[in-house]
Amino acid sequence: MIEIIDNLSQDVKEAIELGASSDIVFKNIKRVCIGGMGGSSIGGELLQALSYRYSAIPFSVVRDYNLPRFVDKKTLLIVVSYSGNTEETLKLFEQAKGITNILCVSNNGILEDRAKKENIPLISIPKGYPPRGAIAYLFFPILEILRKSRIIKIKKEDLNETCKILEENKDTAKAWAEEVSVKVKEKLPFIYSIYDFRAVARRWSTQINENAKSLAHWAVFSELDHNEIVGWANPKEILKRIFIFVLRDRDENERINRRIEITSELIAESSGEIMNVYADGNSHVAKNFSLIQKGDYLSVFLANAYKVDPLPVKRIQELKRRLAE
């Protein structure tokens, strides 16, 4: 797994080129809906988060068997399944045929076969990754097609900066993660973030789940100040074993900045440790991926601290086996 993270900047370059070389373009789209589960859905989460700044139309993410009723002929449904066999995603695909515009993203399996058979636009991405390790290919080719379709307006320079940041930060992010993982071992990680990084906070949590085989929790400012902040009272012994990461932007809104400061002061005595983690770069794409890089490394070094193999996800496989019976 560590080699996959080491190669993230190169994967991003190749993924951008994969999208740029595609002739897939969509027109007259009024909304975008991304359907996927687990590691295959994180690209959609990032797209939705970035759409707030870079698109004039609404984006939504569906993690379910059922197609939303608002999906129509002016909707673009992006169906993502790295394996091509995710049952919830296949159900969405079947419901959507003939109703809406569809873009499939996969590398194998039933989804790719059906897309080819029925001449539905397909991004065929490289094999050989665990789904969570293929994040570059589950995000950047879709982003490129949305850029070419004038659905999302992100500059090419922002993508180039992302590659540059990931390559430049690799060694420092790795060293940081190895050092911090020792502090986090035997703690419960809480990932708090500003709203721009809400998809990254989810990513940190799920990477810790799957790689380190550890529970984790995530929440977002300023919503957490309207409910979760009150929960920092009980159970006291458990609260002391919570390690809080706050994902931040040096250019964040001054009111959010003040909220984070006050919230940290209010819960400091109840919690274990609070650590601010700042994004790098100028563009929002680079900022998001600079934090993803750190979180991915942290999850693997935490797996090492627990002496577990980050690759297998035995409970997920056993669940799928039982569902297939």
Counted domains in the chain:
2
Predicted local confidence at residue 175, as pLDDT: 98
φ and ψ at residue 227, rounded to 5 degrees? -160, -65
Same domain, 262 and 236: yes
Given a contact cutoff of 8 angstroms between Cβ atoms, the answer to whether 229 and 266 are in contact is yes
Residue 15 to residue 256: CA distance in whole angstroms: 34
320 in active site: yes
Same domain, 99 and 45: yes
Same domain, 136 and 215: no
Same domain, 238 and 132: no
Predicted local confidence at residue 123, as pLDDT: 96
Question: What's the pTM?
Answer: 0.96
In a domain, residue 233? The reply is yes
Domain extent at residue 121:
2-154
In a domain, residue 98? The reply is yes
Same domain, 82 and 210: no
Which ranges of the chain have pLDDT less than 50? none
> Which is the catalytic residue, given 27, 226, 236, 307?
226
**DSSP structure class, residue 235:** S
Predicted local confidence at residue 324, as pLDDT: 87
Quote the mean pLDDT of the chain: 96
Same domain, 18 and 56: yes
In a domain, residue 165? The reply is no
Predicted local confidence at residue 325, as pLDDT: 84
Last residue of one domain, picked from the residues 90, 124, 154: 154
Predicted local confidence at residue 108, as pLDDT: 84
228 in active site: no
Predicted local confidence at residue 313, as pLDDT: 93
Packing angle between helix 42-54 and helix 284-306, nearest 10 degrees? Answer: 150
Predicted local confidence at residue 15, as pLDDT: 97
Last residue of one domain, picked from the residues 128, 154, 180: 154
Token look-up 């909707």 returns 75
> Which is the catalytic residue, given 91, 148, 185, 320?
320
Q: Which two tokens stand for residue 122?
A: 């397909």
Same domain, 145 and 174: no
In a domain, residue 324? The reply is no
In a domain, residue 34? The reply is yes
Q: Please name every residue paired with 273 in a beta bridge, in sequence order, or none if there are none.
A: 243
Same domain, 174 and 147: no
Same domain, 141 and 211: no
Same domain, 185 and 70: no
Residue 7 to residue 13: CA distance in whole angstroms: 10
In a domain, residue 161? The reply is no
DSSP string, 266-319: HHTTTSSEEEEEE--SSSHHHHHHHHHHHHHHHHHHHHHHHT--SS--HHHHHH
284 in active site: no
Same domain, 274 and 141: no
Predicted local confidence at residue 187, as pLDDT: 97
In a domain, residue 313? The reply is no
Residue 102 sits in a domain of what CATH number?
A: 3.40.50.10490
Strand order in the sheet with 122-124: 59-62, 31-35, 75-80, 101-106, 122-124
> Which is the catalytic residue, given 88, 144, 210, 252?
210
Predicted local confidence at residue 265, as pLDDT: 97
In a domain, residue 199? The reply is yes
Same domain, 112 and 175: no
